[in-house]
Structure formats: structure tokens, C-alpha cells
Chain A
């Protein structure tokens, strides 16, 4: 078990570059020590970090695609002379963009850029929720009952807030 810990500790500091220097040495010393202390904690940090990173990249890609689509569909949004003011295309008529899951689906079906943006925003919103799920599962694997209770409570209240209040 402790042998495995050592190897994990060595594997982690590869990220900051490890190109010698005082900083690099400090990083590897710290990671090795901590991994020996509690290897699974470190594993969870890597998983949480990846979940956040993937969520962020996917959502921003969808959002940008939707933004491009919106401007392609509405040439007058970017026309310099004779174009329209941004005040005419934001807010007010909330019906112009989806603000319910049903609205999102029909907006996507119609191929609207705004719908694609909202889809990306939903992915962005789902990322922290997924991160809490990782916490619940991670602490369950560690058999840390107190933290499982804490993170499960967070997950339940979070989902309740999003699902029941968001209608």
C-alpha cells in the first residue's frame, strides 16, 4: 500500500513542468509527502479538477458556436451603418430566447443560435453539480461517512434549488 502511495506521489508533480529550479523541487517534495499521507484525497483532487476542466471547455465551445450562429442568422446585428442597437435585441421580450427546458428544446429544434448558447450555459451550470456528485462518490469510496452526509446534503439542496425553484 505504501509502495503504491510513493509511486502516485511521483506521478503527480509532472504537471507543473518539473524543469528543475527551486519551485519544481518544492512541488515534487510536497506532493510525495502528501500522497503518502492520504493518496485518495489527492486522487479526488485530480478527478475534481478534470471534471471542472472538461465542463468548462465543452460549455464554452457550445456557447461560442451558438454566438456565431446567432450573428450568421441575424446580419443586422453586426451591420455598422443601418444596423440596430443592442438595446433592441436584449432583455424585454423574454420570449426571444428560451428560459425553460421546453423552450430550449424547441429553440434547438428550430436551429436558433440563442438556443445553442443556452445549451452551453446549461452545461456550464451542470459542471458544479457534477463536481458535487464527484465529492459524494469520492468520500463514499474513502468511507468518510461524515463527508458523505455533508456532500449528499449539498447535492440534494442544490438539485432542489435548481429543479423546484427554477420553474
Chain B
């Protein structure tokens, strides 16, 4: 396979990754890393570098639309980034210490847990009307969005800011360690712990993952893990896909998005665990 074939194939796959990532708030790295390692037999370290690029591209591409449509909770996103950037900074120090095999297992377990927790909550659809969370009230994190599927404005209250911040810290840590999977934790942190509506959770996750990834991108760049020949088609494809996917989210049912999210997590968790254990 020539370099041109690789670039064209990666571009096409990245479009799909961008669509999927923008819908479920995962940044597309969740597709790009297994595709590069399992299909193209690229070194995991280069795959992670490409994934970081993919996450930033999905985030900016999708968030441009979600922020304008007010699907993203801007205040909550910017506030929770306190925890993600701190986690990312911590993780960047640890990343050279851990071998790839351990990373695969850790990543697999993390995703499997996220999937289980989200599946158990798949029918929940009613946002909270009151909140006694002091941080959420003080920072005015509550919000509302227009749900196309329900055809009405949905107001919601935010709770569980402390567990939310803790999960966001871990999300930042995981992002720096693995270059992937930060969205897989951010969405449950907001959906499960903080009771934001599912669509707001994925849209806000999309908004945040760019900053989390950018925090560790410098490290990956300096280590030479960002190969332009791989990163170029990934960035271009994922961006196109993310802009496409961002047009669809509003019209989808929350339950559908949760189920897609769960399926993606289960598949990737299985792949990663297999690769780490065998």
C-alpha cells in the first residue's frame, strides 16, 4: 500500500469518525486509534498522536455549531475545564512511565465501566427542575436548550458538581496518558453525575475535549508522535465529518444517542482489552 492509499483511506475513515465523535462527544480518536493500530499496523504511539489531532479537530468542528445552537452549556464547559486541564497536566508527567499494554487494559476497563453506567440510565430523559448544589448555583451552571426532537425548549438544573469535577480530572488524566478516551468519561460525568441532558452532555463534551487534548498535544508534538502524513488526512476528514454530524444531533432522541454511545464503548473496550491481555 502506497502512502497515497493510506492518506485516502484514512481520510474516508476519519469522516465517519468525525460524524460519530460529534454525535456522542468522543472526539473520533476512539475510531482513529484502533483503525491505525489494528488495521494499518501503525505504532500505537503514532496512533495516539493522530488521535490527539483528531480530538482537537472534532471538538472545534462540532463545537462551532453546537455553541451557536446553544446546545453546549458554555459556562459548565468552561468551569469543568479547571479539572480537565489539571488532570491533563498530571497525566503528561506519568505517560512515559506506563507501557502500551497497561494502557490498553486501563483504557478497556474505563470504557467498559462508562458503557455499563450509561446503559443502566438509557431511559432517563427528564431534566432536573431544582438544584441544591452550591457550586452549580454559585457559578450559574444551569441552562436550557432547544430540543428539535421534542420540539420545545428544555430547561435543566445541574447537580453533583464535586463528583463531576473529580471525573473530569480523571478524564484529563486519561486523555494525557492515552491520547484518547477523555470524552468517554466526560459524557458520563455530565450525563450521570451532573444530570445534564444527554444531548447537552455530548455537545459540551465536544466543546471541552479540544482544550483537554490541546493541553497534552505539546508533549506529543515534542516527542515526534504527531506524524504529518497520518495527521493530515485525519484532521481534514474528522473536521468534515464533525461538521456533518453536528447538523444531526438536535433531531435525534436522547435514548438513541445513549445506545449508540454504549455500543461504541463496548466495541472499543473489547478490542482494547483483547489487545492488552493477549
Contact = CB atoms under 8 A, between A and B. Distances in A.
A97 B219 CA distance: 16
B210 A131 contact: yes
A50 B67 CA distance: 10
Given A53-B64, A67-B7, A157-B86, A124 B2 contact: no
B236 A45 contact: no
Contact of B222 (A30, A59, A83, A100): A100
A45 B67 contact: yes
A56 interface: yes
Interface of A: 15-16, 22-23, 26-27, 29-30, 33-34, 41-42, 44-46, 48-50, 52-53, 55-56, 59-60, 63-64, 66-67, 70-71, 74, 77-80, 83-87, 89-91, 94, 97, 99-100, 113-114, 117-118, 120-121, 124-125, 127-129, 131-132, 135, 146-147, 150-151, 153-154, 157-158, 160-163, 165-167
Contact of B42 (A48, A91, A99, A131): A91
B166 interface: no
Interface of B is mostly: helix
B24 interface: no
Contact of B221 (A49, A91, A99, A113): A99
Given A91-B42, A125-B217, A153-B82, 5 more contacts: A45-B67, A48-B67, A60-B239, A77-B3, A166-B222
Contact of B218 (A29, A67, A166): A166
Interface residues of B, number: 71
A127 B211 CA distance: 9
Nearest to A166: B218
Given A56-B60, A86-B5, A15 B68 contact: yes
